[in-house]
Amino acid sequence: MVAPAPSPSAEPDPPVRGGSWWRLELPLPPELEESLLWKLPQLGIPRLAVRHRPERPAERLLQAWLPAADWPKPERIELLKALEPLGEPFGLALPAAVWYRQDDEDWSLSWKRHWQPDPVGQRLLILPAWLEVPPEHADRLVIAMDPGSAFGTGSHPTTRLCLEALEELAATPSGLTGLRVADLGCGSGILGLGALRLGATSVAMVDTDGLAVRASRDNAALNGLGDAVAVGLGSIELLADLLENRPADLLLCNILAPVITALCPAFGSVLAPGGIGLLSGLLVDQAPELERVLQAQGWTSRLVGRQERWGLLRIHGPELVT
């Protein structure tokens, strides 16, 4: 039986049994989701999940599993203090956290209880790998996903914006057929796999997190797309190498705006002048400044999508100014 953990002012923790865990549950404001999913692994907490219902994607709950022997009450209090500054850029306080004590279990099974088939746009379906395709979604293109320790399950608005934009590109006369794709900051690989499902020929992916690289490889194999995917641990320089120094036709980049700003001077090494880039991970009010930075680097950009406070920029090289 899972019982609530004592509050910080309560008695000390009960004795730790072998294999016992703390489960942290934290409501997720959309502004803080990317930051928390980045920060917690930096603090030694890679076992993460985001719960949401497909019919209510804005209502998300972060879950994290921590070995009880390593995280007594003082350390858990300090953990929450370390997370509090993440809300400051948005003028938000960290939501109230709840701790639950639970016996040893395969924590990935906890994720499985909360995942459901998740339709995106008109054609795509994000499907937990252990479930069958529901009959009502039999005509959709399936992106099978296994949680592992990865980031990017399709629930976040920035991921959905990118997938919906890919679907729109696929519906144009030129479509995605035959395109070479670059995915900078691939997370779970979901965007690159979506591009392949919609007709792209190949995807080169990189991420600076080893867990994300492993998850992207595993998810590519799970979808039978391993031969079309090249994945590496690194940043934009490695991505150019994976592309064999032939810039891609389409760049996917779902990372935070300050990181996009830092990397965009090198975009020409991974995106052809006549190519298209989809940049997400940014807040709508960050778009004007990012557009100015991109323009200074020779890229034409405009805001083409938004969900909640998150936006999506579409960029073109100098040979495709519109």
pLDDT for the residue numbered 136: 96
Average pLDDT over residues 152-161: 77
pLDDT for the residue numbered 3: 29
pLDDT for the residue numbered 152: 60
Average pLDDT over residues 266-278: 95
SS3 content of the chain, % helix, strand, coil (to 5): 35, 30, 35
Name the CATH superfamily for 118-320.
Vaccinia Virus protein VP39 (3.40.50.150)
pLDDT for the residue numbered 14: 45
Given a cut of 50, whether residue 12 has pLDDT beyond it is: no
What Rg value do the Cα atoms of the chain yield, rounded? 20
Average pLDDT, the chain: 85
Q: Which of 17, 1, 22 is nearest to 79 (CA)?
A: 22
| Cα–Cα distance for residue pair 13/3, rounded to 1 Å | 12
| Cα–Cα distance for residue pair 231/310, rounded to 1 Å | 27
**pLDDT digit string, tens, across residues 29-49:** 888 888 898 888 778 787 788
Residue with the bigger pLDDT between 122 and 155: it is 122
Could you tell me the residue ranges of all domains in the chain? 1-30+58-105, 118-320
Q: Sorting pLDDT into bands at 50, 70 and 90, what band is 278?
A: very high
Burial of 213 (0-12, 13-18, 19+ CB in 10 A): buried
- The total of other beta-carbon atoms located within 10 Å of residue 320's CB is 13
Average pLDDT over residues 81-99: 92
Distances (CA, A) of 59 to 28, 190, 234: 8, 21, 32
Given a cut of 50, whether residue 234 has pLDDT beyond it is: yes
Sign of the CA dihedral with 87 first, then 88, 92, and 95 last: positive
Question: In 66-94, which positions are buried (b, 16+ CB within 10 angstroms) versus exposed (e)?
Answer: bebeebebeebeebeeebeebbeeeeeeb
Average pLDDT over residues 250-263: 93
| Cα–Cα distance for residue pair 40/79, rounded to 1 Å | 9
pLDDT > 70 in the chain, percent: 85
Give me the phi and psi of 80, to 5 degrees please. -65, -35
Q: Which of 184, 107, 119 is nearest to 147 (CA)?
A: 107
Give the three-class secondary structure for 262: helix
Give the least confident one: 83-87, 221-225, 239-243.
83-87
Given a cut of 80, whether residue 17 has pLDDT beyond it is: no
**pLDDT digit string, tens, across residues 164-208:** 999 999 999 999 999 999 999 998 899 999 999 999 999 999 998
